[in-house]
Amino acid sequence: MKTFAVYNNKGGVGKTTATVNLGFAAARSGLRVVIWDLDSQAAATWYFRIKPKLRGGSTELLRKTRRLTDFVKATNYPDLDLIPAEFSNRYLDRILDNKNRPMHRLALVTRSLAEEYDLLLLDCAPSFSTLAENIFNAADALLIPLIPTTLSVRAYRQMKNYIGKRKEPAPVLMPFFSMVDRRKKMHGEIVRDFYKTNPEVMRTFIGYLSDVEKMGAHRAPVQAFANGSRAAGAFNLLWDEIIGRVNKKELKN
């Protein structure tokens, strides 16, 4: 099983949207996928029409004596499951700080999922914290949505610099642009300049498209209600590009 985290320490960049749609695309490609909603806002949980509730609260998720598979809920889509979030997720940093090996607990508890899934997608809250360190240690790759603004690009460079200096093995960085408005000259300039200096950036970007916004009305991945749309095509292409960097056979090992 591979673990991909959709992460950015900056909020409002489209992390949950990307998680939901990439998870759908991965499942439709033949992988067994589980999404873990780590954000206390529980947006991914809401999109999949699952109650934001965990038996025993978030503390139970991180116990050595519990299997994470006990918390998995089925979605309405084949081969795509979810570990829901709830409001008590806001205490995850505090819970982790009170554990042995607090920076590696996430990697430890996710091991049980490998028996049933090929891919774990983490939908992450924006933070630089104990939970973020756990995410860096558990993830094989960080899928990092960026909006084409100066502050978003600056935040990515800070994160890239920090991860490069850590003593722990670094996850593969896969940044990609989200909410790109082709009508805005500045968006185009930022994207082009970023491509020149960051060869790790994905070539597929997600446009500022109305069908993405309609996910809230449908409470579903965009491919489920607008499969022929530009938005659905963009997420499918982005998944193809991601999987192109990771051998699919490796995902199923």
Question: Dmax over Cα atoms in the chain, in whole Å?
Answer: 54
Q: Tell me what percent of the residues of the chain surpass a pLDDT of 70.
A: 95
Cα distance between residue 246 and residue 250, in whole Å: 7
Three-state DSSP state, 235:
helix
The CA angle 48-86-25, to the nearest 5 degrees, is 30
CB atoms within 10 A of CB 188: 14
pLDDT at 248 over 60: no
pLDDT of residue 88: 81
Better-predicted residue by pLDDT, 242 or 129: 242
pLDDT of residue 96: 81
- Domain boundaries defined on the chain: 2-251
Better-predicted residue by pLDDT, 62 or 139: 139
Mean model confidence pLDDT for the chain: 91
CB atoms within 10 A of CB 77: 18
CATH class of 2-251: alpha beta
Residues in the chain: 253
Q: What would the pLDDT profile of 88-107 be if each residue is shown by its tens digit?
A: 888 787 878 776 667 888 88
* Spatial strand order in the sheet of 73-74: 73-74, 80-83, 33-37, 119-123, 2-6, 141-146, 172-177
Q: Tell me what percent of the residues of the chain surpass a pLDDT of 90.
A: 70
pTM of the predicted model as reported, rounded to 2 decimal places: 0.93
Q: For residue 6, give the nearest of 175, 160, 149 by alpha carbon.
A: 175
